[in-house]
Structure 1
Amino acid sequence: MHAQKTRVACVGNSVTYGAGIKDRSLNSYPSQLQKLLGSNYHVANFGHSGATMLKNGHKPYWTKQAFKQSQDFAPNIVIIHLGLNDQGNNNWPKHKEAFIPDYLDMISTYKKLPSKPRVIICKMTPTFSGHHWFEEGMRESFKDIQNKIETIANTANVELINLHEPLYRFPEFFPDNLHPTKDGAAIIAKKVYSAITGDYGGLQLPKYYGENMVFQRHEPIVISGTANINDHITVQLNSKKASTTVTKKGVWKVSFPAMNAGGPFALKIQSKLSKTIQFNQVYIGEVWLASGQSNMDFKVQHMLSAKSVLKDSLNPNIFVLSMDPKVLKGTPFTEKERSLCNTNDYFESSGWSNTSDKILENFSAVAYAYAYNLQKSLNVPIGIICNAVGGSPTQSWISRECLEQTHETISLLNDSWQNPLIDSWVSLRKSENFGHNKNLKGRHPYDATFLFDSGILPLTNFNFKGVIWYQGESNTEHVDLHSRLFKMLIKDWRIHFKKPEFPFYYVQLSSINRPNWGTFRDAQRKLLHIKNTGMAVSLDVGHKTDVHPKQKWILGERLARIALNKSYKKPIAFSGPLLDYVNVMNDKLEVYFKHSEGLKTKDDTAIKDIIVAGEDKVFLKAQTKIKGNKLIVWSQNIKKPRYVKYGYSSYTNGNLVNKSNLPASTFSNLKE
């Protein structure tokens, strides 16, 4: 006698139906779910394209044959995914108040069936910004519906599957911004399969866990992962033990009280149902994230004096981990390389290391110098993860939920081919990698949000003390836009890391003979008004033609000075002279600075690369005099000076420093 099969009814709209999917009878999400569940289940597709949950919607599911058929099926499990068609302006504005009661009524209808099914409802799959109604109200109505679905789940006491994540990180699976491809349907099927069976693949940890990892001291230590539903997880760290039960969403986490720096300690994570994972050496200390583009990625082995650094500056209390891009080059991507350009596969972890090996040689020179100088002062283990990607623009590091909020940044999301808001070099590299074929499917690493999705979001459950950042070279053609994006990025990361004052210390661009770099550097200086930021000046270690100057140790040390002063309250000089204000005194300007004690030139010569202008903004070479900690500036050919610029040449020989020999930033009092 054969056991009766468990009947699963997939109720929904065109996403459930499989609209747009080739061979939908094989590749729609219900069909793929059938393959995952196996022969003990009978999965039926009751999707109807265009259907609304609203009874007064333009195409109510309630009146469709699929609704009656789903009930006649006598299901044991019902999966409801509706709401996408309700968000349109032809439905939501007039009838939104009926959405909750209508949805509750449908749940009740299924629960009252003689088969007494288990009802599971779904948060909607994404509607992406390229949809023609996105900025005409759909963005807001979509969020409203998602929130209401959460309310409905709680009110009706039914299970809730979040289909928005991780599909929101795979826009390439939604060619029309609404309907998933076969690959997108596979993600839906896997989510539904796990919800039905409780199978989430057994005990798993984030990729950055491993031997020699470092946890942040003096803050609660949260250890988390995934496992099968109702599994019991026991974690032991430094003779302390904590246990928890895996949630219905397959996630677990335990928290240990804040600890002082130390180690090595054993970390043991034990599953009652599957396996045990143990690391014999983990540490507690200070943990930082290093990110940006190629100057942050610039490797230890290529920096000036690399041999002596690798020989004399190794420190076993510094633990480094690289997240390296699997694909990054200037020639066309192969089909295999394009397939790696997705949220899950783009980065490869090096594992943690604290010894002289290939991991350290290929680690960020700036980040290692930063960690070295921190460790020397703090005398605790330092852990640092670097995920910098050469050539990457700022917008690739910002989340989709953030960029979707303004029309300007929505443009960056919707058009990444020759968009005039994107630097020409970035657009050219994408064209080169995709063979100049605009019809080629897939995301490029430089596309807006890609590096956030693949390189930042996976780290947001790990506790970092703060961020060091070296990027901007790929945004210099759009100075004002970069300033807006940079503010967005910092706010965005602080939200996702759940740290409103997350320290963010960055390197100002150096000197090179390229257009606009002086203006860009000054714009970066002005960004210091953002709370809890700091900027390391690098104009004095630039190169006329090389965008990758090799004096990286100096920059890591300057970043460390900022952190030691601001994050660790050490009484250490951390900034060169920064423009404070300018006074007009007859035919001269008096320039006042912060951090100006011992104002001087580094070579004891006249101040270089400084110009002055009157109201007409015609700048002429200036004469200067240092008087105490202020600077006097004038020109015999300008009777009423008003404006001053210092270090504005793209490749500057500016030589103004303070007594700590820290260089002054490019500056101007001109309001551009």
Structure 2
Amino acid sequence: MMNAYQIKGFYGAAALALSLLTLSASAKVVPAGCFTDNMVLQQKAKANIWGTAKPNSQLTIVPTWDKHKYQVKVAADGKWTAKVATPAYGGPYQIAFDDGEKLTLNNVLIGDVWLCSGQSNMEMTVGNGYGGVNNVEQETKDAAKYSAIRMIKIDNKTAFQPQQEVPVKWAWRECNSETVKDFSAVAYFFAKKIYDEKHIPIGLINDNWGGTVAEAWTSGTSLKSMPEFAEFVKTAEGGLTQADIDARYKNEVRQWINRSMTGDPGFTGTNATWAQADFNDSAWPKMQLPNFWEQAGVANYDGTMWFRKVVNVPADWAGKDLKLNLTGIDDYDVSFFTGQEVGHTEQFFYPRNYTVPGNLVKAGKNVIAVRVFDNGGLGGINKGPLNLQLANDPSKTLDIAGEWTYQQAVPLIKLEQPPVHANTPNRPTLIYNAMIAPILPLTFKGVIWYQGESNADRAEQYKTLFPLLIKDWRSKFNNSNMPFYFVQIANYDCKDQPPVADWPELRFAQTGTLAVPNTGMAVTIDIGEGGNIHPHNKQDVGLRLALIALAKDYNEQVEYSGPTLSSKKINGKDVELSFSHANGLMSKNSTELKGFFVAGDDKKFYPAKAVINGNNVTVSSPDVAQPVAVRYDWQNNPDGTLYNKAGLPASPFKTDDWKDIRL
């Protein structure tokens, strides 16, 4: 039930945009883009407000909650900043600005403001992005009751230098059944739970970008402490341009491709043996393309795969330039025609349209070979058209879909990761410069963060990088104890796929980040979807983040964490594990505990029997006479059943420090 600060009207997106356009055209006072109608200001704070106005003028700011007049001197460059004292939560209010011409911001609430950041699982919206959430019709209907929840969307931008102008994709919106469809789902369900419990207006700064890495969100100042990023940052600070980036990237990719030939059976030195016309591939299996190889009989394989196709070129095409069109490769490729490389692309599903020089084109038998690099999940040549065309007459086309031969080459774990693309946001500090730096003066309560999938191939590095990001933001926002609550990445991938160390190790790196003060982690190992990296259950993600905030910031006596390993003790063939947050340990949805594995000195893990004893769990295996190590849920998509009474799952863990060990 809404109370005195319930909003009394809805300003539609079009009306708001028109209003802001009119204001910017006619009023000299222009607050920064994060200050608009419908906004939420942080309660009980000296909230920073800034913007531009008539140079050297005197600006008066008057909020209606106390009618206090703030007198602000506008600088010669037109910039101004003010600290405005805010009361306890309430509203709606107005804020009036006057430098000779007046501007009023309406429908302003005072409450708690949270910065909501990360990659696509934070970006995913309630009703529009990535397919929407579970029970979306009811959720959008219920949103009409939550107009005290507000959101602003920061636009996706990059910059080589820290920026000051706030890039706003859409201004503050109050929640209703229509606007909520574009709200970050995790952020909305987080706010909804807090509002249900505390009836405090919640402002959400939606500042995220799908598929991005943590280093892109970290300041150059901090990244210079990590050697792997320092050179790029220093170069950027010295005036790096996009043209410089493009040239460097082109060189790095060539070097990466050349290095990847080592150990690949398809090459003899730098000669692409498997691409030659006279290579005998009669023993190779066959596959219909376009297709994902996992869906065509090659399960549980990531890495490089070679494909070959014999094509009969018409006599009148001989000696003429052709176009080789391969439009759906997952992820990257190097393509050959009669043994000669004709192109390579390091972009997922980006159209390949390679020119085949006429001197390679013979009448009759020719061989096309494609070396595909798959970085995880499904891989292959999955979308059409697949064809050859005469370069000077595209109406003449030769279909090359159908039967190809194929052969596995090098598994992913043995491959070096490719360079970061020249035009991607995933370059050190570039997102920070454009999307975080401009809001550094903003006053807010804390951060919720959902990211990690894009760093999963560098889990060891993440152990340093992620705590660095948190400390960096606290320093830059001038709040050394700023709450920072994050989501541990969810279960994902096929159940029968052999576990790749990256995802469990990334989760473990996230768990280790809890050593940073005033952090919290929402475990989601039980609510992912094996075939969908964007699971639809965002309700529980938001809820679990909200439980952390309620316990740590709102003085609520609630359990906010699942069982967390605190110690182990070996007693003969048994290993006794002790847990914190262990009130009411239980096996959920199963009569026996699942997910535990035990190993001896040989580092071979076996499924373990696990028995609950109070706050402890005792594990053992008949295959391990002298146990040394225990792992729990150490897979991409595990089946662990350990929960506490609050219904929160145990976090995956390991008691060893072994590397590259498969269960």
Task: Give the TM-score taking structure 2 as reference length.
Answer: 0.64
Letter in 1 for 2:439: L
Question: The residue matched to 2:137 in structure 1 has which SS?
Answer: helix
Conserved? CA contact 1:341–1:442, under 8 Å: no
Partner of 1:271: 99
Partner of 2:70: 242
- Deviation per CA, 1:412-456: give whole Å up to 9, x if none: 546784688xx99799449959999x9x99853222212111111
Partner of 1:307: 137
* Aligned equivalent of 1:562, options 545, 548, 552: 548
Letter in 2 for 1:522: F
Partner of 2:265: none
Question: The residue matched to 2:622 in structure 1 has which SS?
Answer: coil
Partner of 1:620: 606
Distance 1:351 1:433, change over 3 A: farther
Q: CA deviation at 1:351?
A: 1.3
Partner of 2:570: 584
Flag the structure with more relative contact order, 1 or 2, with Cα contacts below 8 A and sequence separation at least 6. 2
Conserved? CA contact 2:579–2:615, under 8 Å: yes
Q: CA deviation at 1:647?
A: 0.4
Give the Cα–Cα distance (whole angstroms) in 2 for the partners of residues 582 and 435 of structure 1.
57
- Deviation per CA, 1:493-542: give whole Å up to 9, x if none: 10111100111100000011273212221221111111110000111011
Q: CA deviation at 1:574?
A: 0.3
Residue 629 (str. 1) matches residue 615 (str. 2): yes
Conserved? CA contact 1:218–1:259, under 8 Å: yes
Give the Cα–Cα distance (whole angstroms) in 1 for the partners of residues 352 and 78 of structure 2.
38
Question: The residue matched to 1:353 in structure 2 has which SS?
Answer: strand
Question: The residue matched to 2:180 in structure 1 has which SS?
Answer: helix
Q: CA deviation at 1:222?
A: 2.4
Q: CA deviation at 1:367?
A: 0.5
Q: CA deviation at 1:342?
A: 10
Residue 517 (str. 1) matches residue 503 (str. 2): yes
Partner of 2:458: 478
Q: CA deviation at 1:253?
A: 2.0
Matches within 5 A, 1:11-50: none
Partner of 1:390: 210
Distance 1:297 1:567, change over 3 A: same
Q: CA deviation at 1:355?
A: 3.6
Distance 1:428 1:241, change over 3 A: farther
Conserved? CA contact 1:341–1:443, under 8 Å: no
Give the Cα–Cα distance (whole angstroms) in 2 for the partners of residues 249 and 347 of structure 1.
20
Distance 1:271 1:443, change over 3 A: farther
Q: CA deviation at 1:286?
A: 0.5
Residue 381 (str. 1) matches residue 201 (str. 2): yes
Q: CA deviation at 1:339?
A: 11
The CA RMSD measured in Å over matched residues stands at 3.2
Partner of 1:406: 226
Letter in 2 for 1:470: Y
Question: The residue matched to 1:240 in structure 2 has which SS?
Answer: coil
Gaps of 5+ in 1: 1-200, 327-337
Residue 526 (str. 1) matches residue 352 (str. 2): no
Question: The residue matched to 1:525 in structure 2 has which SS?
Answer: helix
Q: CA deviation at 1:388?
A: 1.2
Structure 1 or 2: larger helix share? 1
Partner of 1:444: 424
Count of paired positions: 456
Give the Cα–Cα distance (whole angstroms) in 1 for the partners of residues 191 and 484 of structure 2.
15
Question: The residue matched to 1:612 in structure 2 has which SS?
Answer: strand
Give the Cα–Cα distance (whole angstroms) in 2 for the partners of residues 614 and 262 of structure 1.
60
Letter in 2 for 1:214: V
Task: Give the TM-score taking structure 1 as reference length.
Answer: 0.63
Give the Cα–Cα distance (whole angstroms) in 1 for the partners of residues 56 and 600 of structure 2.
74
Conserved? CA contact 2:143–2:175, under 8 Å: no
Give the Cα–Cα distance (whole angstroms) in 1 for the partners of residues 473 and 491 of structure 2.
28
Partner of 2:117: 291
Question: The residue matched to 2:482 in structure 1 has which SS?
Answer: coil
- Deviation per CA, 1:47-67: give whole Å up to 9, x if none: xxxxxxxxxxxxxxxxxxxxx
Give the Cα–Cα distance (whole angstroms) in 2 for the partners of residues 609 and 631 of structure 1.
12
Letter in 2 for 1:286: D
* Seq. identity, %: 32
Distance 1:483 1:586, change over 3 A: same
Matches within 5 A, 1:292-441: 292-301=118-127, 302-314=132-144, 315-325=146-156, 347-356=167-176, 358-411=178-231, 413=233, 417=249, 428-429=346-347
Question: The residue matched to 1:611 in structure 2 has which SS?
Answer: strand
Matches within 5 A, 1:644-663: 644-663=630-649
Distance 1:403 1:517, change over 3 A: same
Letter in 2 for 1:231: S
Give the Cα–Cα distance (whole angstroms) in 2 for the partners of residues 242 and 434 of structure 1.
60
Give the Cα–Cα distance (whole angstroms) in 1 for the partners of residues 42 and 558 of structure 2.
23
Give the Cα–Cα distance (whole angstroms) in 1 for the partners of residues 177 and 162 of structure 2.
29
- Deviation per CA, 1:596-631: give whole Å up to 9, x if none: 010011114212121001233221111111011100
Question: The residue matched to 2:526 in structure 1 has which SS?
Answer: helix
Give the Cα–Cα distance (whole angstroms) in 2 for the partners of residues 501 and 531 of structure 1.
7
Letter in 2 for 1:352: W
Partner of 2:661: none
Partner of 1:62: none
Give the Cα–Cα distance (whole angstroms) in 1 for the partners of residues 40 and 159 of structure 2.
32
Gaps of 5+ in 2: 1-26, 236-244, 257-301, 304-330, 333-344, 355-417, 494-498, 659-663
Question: The residue matched to 2:171 in structure 1 has which SS?
Answer: coil
Conserved? CA contact 1:587–1:639, under 8 Å: yes
Conserved? CA contact 2:37–2:105, under 8 Å: yes
Q: CA deviation at 1:586?
A: 2.0
Question: The residue matched to 2:172 in structure 1 has which SS?
Answer: coil
Residue 210 (str. 1) matches residue 49 (str. 2): no
Q: CA deviation at 1:235?
A: 0.3
Give the Cα–Cα distance (whole angstroms) in 1 for the partners of residues 516 and 186 of structure 2.
23
Distance 1:343 1:375, change over 3 A: same
The range that moved more, 310-319 or 408-417, is 408-417
Partner of 1:135: none
Give the Cα–Cα distance (whole angstroms) in 2 for the partners of residues 349 and 498 of structure 1.
26
Question: The residue matched to 1:252 in structure 2 has which SS?
Answer: strand
Distance 1:629 1:342, change over 3 A: closer
Conserved? CA contact 1:430–1:444, under 8 Å: no
Residue 231 (str. 1) matches residue 217 (str. 2): no
Structure 1 or 2: larger strand share? 2
Conserved? CA contact 1:321–1:359, under 8 Å: no
Give the Cα–Cα distance (whole angstroms) in 2 for the partners of residues 526 and 339 of structure 1.
31
Conserved? CA contact 1:202–1:228, under 8 Å: yes
Write out the 4+ residue segments of structure 1 that deviate beyond 6 Å after TM superposition: 338-342, 423-427, 433-436
